[in-house]
Every structure is written in C-alpha cells, then in structure tokens.
A and B are shown apart, each in its own frame.
Chain A
C-alpha cells in the first residue's frame, strides 16, 4: 500500500508524485516532502541504527537537529553519508540507504553491542583498550574503527563543484519564521539592504508546522504573503536552503546555500552548494527554538519523537506517524500535538502530563502527574507503560509517541563568539547572554519569546532598533493578530525507574546511566561530562540532548543547572561538507598557476615542468632518445658550458626602485653598499633580517641616477616587496623612494656560455663587446628597435647575460635567440641544470638561504658593511653568530668518484659515532656535475673554512647511507671567475 499514513492537507504538492527508494525498496512521495516525511507517509519508521549500540532508530525530529535518522543519499560518486533524512528534500529518483548496520537495517549483527551494553558504558574505550600499547594501532584501532562510525565514503572524486561568494547587507536576518519575516518586512519596507536566510526549503518556520493563525489567516498563508511582498523588494535578498553556519568577527557570517541538493544532479555548470561570506552591519538572530525530549526507559524506539515533530509531520506534511498516538509532556506546548492530531482524526490514546495542575484537555484521556516508565517494540514502538499519579502502571498500545520536555531557544549563533547563554527559570532553558557577536540581537523564540505574538513584536522591534543604529528609520506597522500564550512548564528531565537505559543523546548512545557514571567517577564539570560520555559530540552537536544531560548532572550534584555549567556552541551550526569549504580550490585548481613567457614554447618541446611556488618552470627538456632526466640535465649543462644555453629567469622578483633616496634606501635594506654603484652597473646584494640572518639575495642594477632595478629570489619576491614597503613606510618614512613590482612586466632570459655574447650580438642593436659592456654592466638596449634591458650577470659561472623585453615579446625573443644560436648549438636549460651550475660555482640558493644562516655561514661575512646602518647589521655582530667554530659553507666531493651523496647527510669525523655530540653540520645541496664527472655538494660544516682538504664522512641515518667525502672549496668550477669575465 502506498503512502498509507498520508492524511489530507499540508504543504505538499499532491499533483506530482516523486518516486524514491530506501534500502532498495521503492516508495512514493510528493514535492514538499522530506525523505523522513515521505518514509513516514509510507509507514516506515525505522531509518537508522545508533552509533554504539546499533539500536534501531527512527526520526526524533522534523528538522536539522535530527540525531537518529541519519542516512546515505545517492549512489556512485555522489553518494553522501550522514545526511539527515528530516531535512533531505525529496526528489524524483532519490536513492537512500540506511547506514551503520550489517547485513540489514532490521537485522544488524552488531546489535549484539546492545546486549553487551553493560560493558560499553561511558569511558569504555579509555578503560578497555589501554594495554598493551603495541595493540593500539594494530589491534584496537582497526576493530573500533570498523565497529563505530556512521556512513561510508565513496572514495571517488566528487563530481560536483562548489562556489564561494561574498554578500553585503545592512541587516542579516537569520531564520525565516514569524520573527524573521516580521523583521525582514520592517527593514525591507524601510529600504534597508536585507538578507533573509533560512535553512529550510520554505519560509515560515514553525508557522508551517502549526495550525496557528496570524492576522486571521493560517500562519503558513500569512508567511507566504509576507514572502511575496519581500520578493518584490529589490533591496531584500531571500535565501532559502541557506544555513547561517557561524558568526565571526565584526559582523561577518558564514552561510551555506544548498543550491542543488534538492536535485538529482546539479544543472550543468551550477554548483552543488555555495559558501557565502556575509558582511552585515547588523544581524538579527531569529533562529527559533528546538524541542528537547524527556528521558525514560527505551525512549529511543522508532515512533517516539518530539511532540512538535509529530505535529509538524501531521500539519506540514499531512503524515500521521502512527494510528494510535500518545503524548508525553511537561509543558503546555505539548498539548498542541494532542489537539492537532485529534482534530485530524488520529486516535490520541492518552496525554501523559508530568504537571499535576492545570486544565484537562476535552475529549482526550489527559493523565496529570503521570509519566512514562518504559516503551516496547524493538523495531518500532508498540506500547508504552505509564505510571499514573497514584503510582499505578498501565501499558497502552500506541505506535507513535510525541514527547515534549520544553523548548530550548536556538542560542547557538549568539554563543559563537564565546558569550555564555543565561538560564531562564520561567522557560527552564538558556537564552542568549551578554557579550554575543557585536551587532547581533535575538528575537522571537531564539530570544526566549515563545508565543507567535512575541515573535512578531520582537522581530519588528529588533529590526527597527538595528536600523536606528544605522541611521535608518522604519515604521512600526501594525502587528498582525496572533496567539500570545504564556509558557507553562514544570521541570521534568528524566523518569526515575528501573535499571533500563534512558537516552539523552541518542546518536552517540549517551544515557542517563552514563551521566550517573560520569558523576560517580567525578567527571562532573560540563567539559568533562561531554568528553567522558561523548554527550553532544555527534553530528547533531547535542541540539536536543545537551541541556538534558546538563540537567541530569545538576540533579546528581544537587546544584542548579546554571551552577553546573552552560553549554556553548561553536561553528558550524550544522555539519558542512569539506568540499563546500574548499570551494573551487581543489585538484588542479587548488591554487592559480603562474606561467612563464617561455611556457608555450616549452610545452611545444615537451618540457618537464616543476612547481616553484605558483610558477610552473621548465625543469628540463628531454630530447628524443633521452630516457632518464639525468641525461637531459647533463646534456644541458655541458652544452651551456661548451657553447651557450638559455634559461627563462622571469620568475625572479623584479622591483623598480626610484626616488632621490633610492640609493640610500638600498644601503639600509642591503648589508652591502649600493649608493656608490655607478649608473649602468649592477652588484650582487645580500639582504639580512633584523636578527642578522640572511633574508634574500639578488643582483641590483642602477639604471639611472634615481632608478634601480632589484632582483629577488623567485621564492621571496612577495616577502621582499612587503619588507621594502615596511622599511619605506614604517622605518624611514621621510625617504623619497617609490616602489613598484615589475616581475611580470619583463620576460627575462639568462644567456650563458662562451658563445653568449656572439649570440646576442646578432640581435642587439648596440655594441656589447667586453669593453663596451663589461662584467656587471647593466643598461637599456634595443633589439631591432624594441626596447630591452641587458644585464651582464652570471649565476652559472659562464660568460652570461640576462636579457629582458616586454613580456609579450618573450616568446618571440626566445625563438629568435634559438634561431640565432643555431650556429652555436644553443640549447634551453631548465631549473635542474641551473641548479647544477650554481652548485658547481658555489652560489647559495634556497637550501642554503634557510633563514638560519648568516652571511658569515655562507662565506660572505665581509659583505656586511659596518660603515653604514643597515637592517641586521648590528645583530649580525652577536658573539654566537661570529663563532669561529660555527658553520661555514664548504664544497663536498666523494672520495670514490662513483659514490653517491645524500642531501641532508650529516658530517662526521672519520671514526666518530653517529650521535648528536659529534655532528659536524649537514649537506645542503647535491648535484651530479657532468663537468667533474662525479656528484658534488654544498654543505654547512662547523669551522668548515679551516677544514678544507680534510676527509670526513657524510652520514644519513634516515636514508641509511654513508659516504667518505673530501671537504673542498665550494667553488668547484673556475674558482678564479675567468670565464664569466671573458
């Protein structure tokens, strides 16, 4: 029989039928249904199993607070575990599965845990899986991981995309119930920029679930009318299916919009969800309230749910959860469920009212001062046992039970900035406290105003007050007529009865007994209670259970609830998928790429690229027949040293420094002097941090009396620029210096090798002979009339230049140089060959510029001028940094030329034990030098300058390598520098 529990009415569209499956069985529902409401309409109460005991479970709620009805949605790559059936919007073709059960939902082998519950009490894992320690990873953890947990991951890539975005508003209204709608209306009519967000797929909040009237109309109709008016306002943005997940500093809120979750597959190009960052000037928390249960034995039977949920299923979804219904309440609101269901013709067997006084419901068996002591029906509720005021017990056959232990205002967002909620004795609940997020006020049930009238009034008032603070004024329009019933509640947290279990946190299987055990073992503070019992640590974050657990603990300690503690919440309000937080930043789009001017050419050549920060640089260029990277790299090195090689060095940071104080400024930021540099010349510069360690290095050229061009390492281009701005603005604000990055404005190539000049002479319009353009010359030139720059600098140790043209011509310049270089067998080399040549020359790079090394360590101590003040000059003079026994840069060669070296190896004297006390330093960079025919390396060695010529061992205990090495000068190749001056 299809939808046998569907009644008339409700906000579902019966004109359309949606087909879906649950655990392989086909069912039907309608637009407007959730998965839970549709299953209940089909008589399915059993939807899941609990985390620890694998107890059969049905939905507790009709909303996002749901702890029980946790299911897997969809199949294949879109399969999503741990979703709440109570908020999953039904769509045609939805496939849902129960989880945490094997082999089936009705028969779950691990339900044996339920029988063994006396072992699985709070602290079970801490006490049981202690010894032996060797069992932790190999035995205990795999067992626990298999037994516990909820749904399963597909391990396939998520096929959907997730957007991020930014919204701005005067007033953010969180929650679209009566308070939120009234607030949005007041602010919208006043012309303010309003965002109204609600996690549901329909505005109206509780009005959709109640039979209450507003302004003489059914509440849901009034809400729909307000939404229509709001929709007509261009200054109001309505966001359904949007959860405000957190409040952050200064009016920033996070929101997750489920753009396509209600569709089988997102429309092409559309995101599944969007993560919004909302900048609000003011915010109104109108998030309503969440009902809480009363704990009694076996209160987790499928069919037992919150009283408000029971009537939500009836009123909003036209679903009766069972034929015979009872209500257990300690407050007036619970009676609404009995009245509404009776009015719909459902058999209301009894109302079990924990309160002793007050009027009796007409036409219903209303038991005052009574309580429920047990519930029967393993896979679905069949009976309840009631203990009446006179102590008599009676068993009633019911298939659905609504429980109301009162309502907790949804204070969550208000406590995200660590403000503590305060206890309200009348409501027997926490309400938002002082010190919440600046600019946020609460209204309606979230503020503890539990009547519809209270919600409407406080919503309007809250909005107008917020507008007033912003200098906007709005009208106090007439409040539509609505009920204004006071809250009548008698505290009743749990039913004292036999030895059975009464659930507080059903998802994590935390029972009254566990709280008692925590108390017995002195874990009485809320923080300990939570961690010892796992109360509130499930996916629902204790929305229904936390206050109940706190109240039980208060009863045990004899303290009041506020004395026992408060429960504050952290973002997110409901679980957020990691894909949503990642947005577009995943896989190849994790970060943007930066492409060099030679990228297109290199791609054509089949270059191998390496990521250097965000840059993709050519690492080497394999030629046909080369099967190992070393073949390519060796060839590139040898060809460069033999004739000429070209390398794209555009990625090096370039900073244009101008102003009358440019030279003086460089004297401050470099430890060596630049103010004396002649125009048309360049110089190697070393930049220290204020603590005396080397920060960066590079060559800086003086292009003009008042203009320098600085180069930085690729890695530090951004941080050096930031540092220069710091020096310019913060330390020496009166200097006449202007800075601008030109890294990307110029395509720059290194042209190195004995034939470098001969190649360039074919292109450059000017005389670049050694006399006209000597070593360390720099200047503006032209290439066929096109402006360009030439620097005669060398990282490779060869006769070398760096030539730059406006970036758009970089590709053409490279092709032109290769064409002109054909007669010299010119090649292009990548970063590996660059690395080989710099190690052969003993130049420091990233591995040596490690932030812990001084100029002295690098053998560049003499560069630090003491004739002028520069950053790091003073502190580089500290004793410890000038220790003659300290690290010095050395070269390393294996004694056996065929031996290999391992970067990161430590230096040990021959015969010394490999212990810290004997550590002599480490090997920083190693390469194979085709020129020397063996591996070579650089390293930092203690007193290394006095150990040149010694024999040592390079030991790497991790790689299990040990090599006998000769300590040599770091200048392996052309130590006199004759080649680069050639």
Chain B
C-alpha cells in the first residue's frame, strides 16, 4: 500500500507501523474517568468492513503519527492527516 503522507507525499506502507482504531485519540482523563470508561476506551472498538480511521506511525520516516482513513475492504485510502492535528482539533491539550 501507499500512504500519502501529508508532509512527505506518497510513501510505502512498509515504512509504517500500524496501531489500530484512531478512536484511541479520545483517551479519557485518568483523574476523572473510571475503570468503566477506560475499559470501553481500550477494548470496545468498531470493526467496520468499509471506511475505518486508523493510526499509523511513520517509523522509517519522519516519526509522524498519522490518522489514515482507509477502506478495509478495498484498501483505498481516502484521507491521511497528521494525528497531532486531529488530536488538537479534538480538543486534546496537555
């Protein structure tokens, strides 16, 4: 597969490490959320046959974490964003 890196352009997926569902961005606050919330955050995932937002890490590249929107059936990649930008837009801070 080829991932169109937002900064570096098309790069071979071999250079990346796959993590999983980009919903991992929405980590609850450990000081306020309880075990239930963390359990759901960590274990309850969608497994769509179709578009899926995923975290990929450009380990053999610029070390950017990316959010890749990919069709899990066709492998078509619809969108690639810097995870940092997505996380900030989702309101994540320090």
Task: Write the residues of chain A forming the contact surface with B, with a CB cutoff of 8 angstroms.
Answer: 248-252, 279, 438, 661, 664, 690-691, 718, 722, 725-726, 729-735, 868-870, 873-875, 877-878
Contact = CB atoms under 8 A, between A and B. Distances in A.
Contacts of B31: 868-869
Interface string B29-71: 1110111001100100000000000010101000111000000
Nearest to B58: A725
Contacts of B35: 874-875, 877-878
A38 B37 CA distance: 75
Contacts of B34: 874
A731 B92 contact: yes
Contacts of B65: 725-726, 729-730
B42 A729 contact: no
17 contacts: A249-B2, A249-B75, A279-B12, A722-B59, A726-B19, A729-B64, A729-B87, A730-B24, A730-B65, A730-B87, A733-B92, A734-B88, A868-B31, A873-B30, A874-B33, A874-B38, A875-B42
Contacts of B12: 252, 279
Contact of B92 (A250, A438, A732): A732
Given A722-B57, A729-B83, A730-B87, A735 B30 contact: no
B27 interface: yes
Which 5 interchain pairs have the tightest Cβ spacing? A869-B30, A250-B2, A249-B1, A734-B93, A729-B65
Contacts of A691: 42
B57 A661 contact: no
A865 B31 CA distance: 11
Contacts of B57: 722, 725-726
A172 to B, nearest CB: 14
A874 B42 CA distance: 11
Contact of A730 (B33, B59, B83): B83
Nearest to B32: A869
B80 interface: no
Contacts of B33: 874
A878 B38 CA distance: 11
A868 B94 CA distance: 13
A940 to B, nearest CB: 24
Interface of B: 1-2, 12-13, 17, 19, 24-25, 27-31, 33-35, 38-39, 42, 55, 57, 59, 63-65, 75-77, 82-84, 87-88, 92-94
Given A252-B12, A690-B27, A733-B88, 9 more contacts: A250-B1, A725-B57, A731-B25, A732-B93, A733-B92, A734-B92, A869-B30, A874-B33, A874-B38
Interface-central residue, A729, A734, A869, A870, by most chain B CB under 10 Å: A729
A251 B75 CA distance: 12
A695 B28 CA distance: 20
A732 B38 contact: no
A666 to B, nearest CB: 13
B87 A731 contact: yes
A869 B83 contact: no
B75 A250 contact: yes
Contacts of A718: 59
Contact of B84 (A249, A729, A875): A729
B18 to A, nearest CB: 11
Contacts of A870: 30
Contacts of B87: 729-731, 733
A718 B63 CA distance: 12
Nearest to B27: A731
A732 B17 CA distance: 20
A75 B24 CA distance: 58
Contacts of A279: 2, 12
A734 B55 contact: no
Nearest to B89: A733
A873 B12 CA distance: 36
A320 to B, nearest CB: 50
A874 B55 CA distance: 23
A691 B24 CA distance: 13
Nearest to B28: A874
Contact of B2 (A251, A722, A873, A874): A251
Contacts of B2: 249-252, 279
Contacts of A877: 35
A678 B20 CA distance: 37
A877 to B, nearest CB: 6
Contacts of A869: 29-31
A725 B64 CA distance: 8
A730 B26 CA distance: 9
A647 B45 CA distance: 46
B58 to A, nearest CB: 10
B88 A875 contact: no
Contacts of B29: 869
Interface-central residue, B25, B29, B39, B94, by most chain A CB under 10 Å: B94
Given A250-B75, A722-B57, A734-B88, A664 B30 contact: no
A870 B38 CA distance: 12
Nearest to B1: A249
Contacts of A878: 35
A735 B28 CA distance: 17
Contacts of A690: 27, 38, 42
B83 A735 contact: no
B79 to A, nearest CB: 15
A731 B27 CA distance: 7
Nearest to B42: A690
Given A250-B1, A250-B2, A725 B63 contact: yes
Contacts of A661: 94
A730 B35 CA distance: 21
A428 B72 CA distance: 35
Contacts of B38: 690, 874-875
A731 B29 CA distance: 10
Contacts of A731: 25, 27, 87, 92
B49 to A, nearest CB: 14
A725 B33 CA distance: 24
Interface-central residue, A249, A250, A868, A878, by most chain B CB under 10 Å: A250
A470 to B, nearest CB: 14
B55 A735 contact: no
Contacts of A438: 76
Given A730-B87, A869-B29, A870-B30, A722 B92 contact: no
B77 to A, nearest CB: 8
B69 to A, nearest CB: 15
A735 to B, nearest CB: 5
Contacts of A735: 94
B24 to A, nearest CB: 7
Contacts of B25: 730-731
B39 A875 contact: yes
A868 B31 CA distance: 7
Contacts of A868: 31
A65 B85 CA distance: 52
Contacts of B13: 249
A737 to B, nearest CB: 10
A874 B29 CA distance: 9
Nearest to B24: A730
Contacts of B1: 248-250, 252
A252 B11 CA distance: 12
A413 to B, nearest CB: 17
Given A249-B1, A725-B65, A664 B94 contact: yes
B67 to A, nearest CB: 9
B20 to A, nearest CB: 11
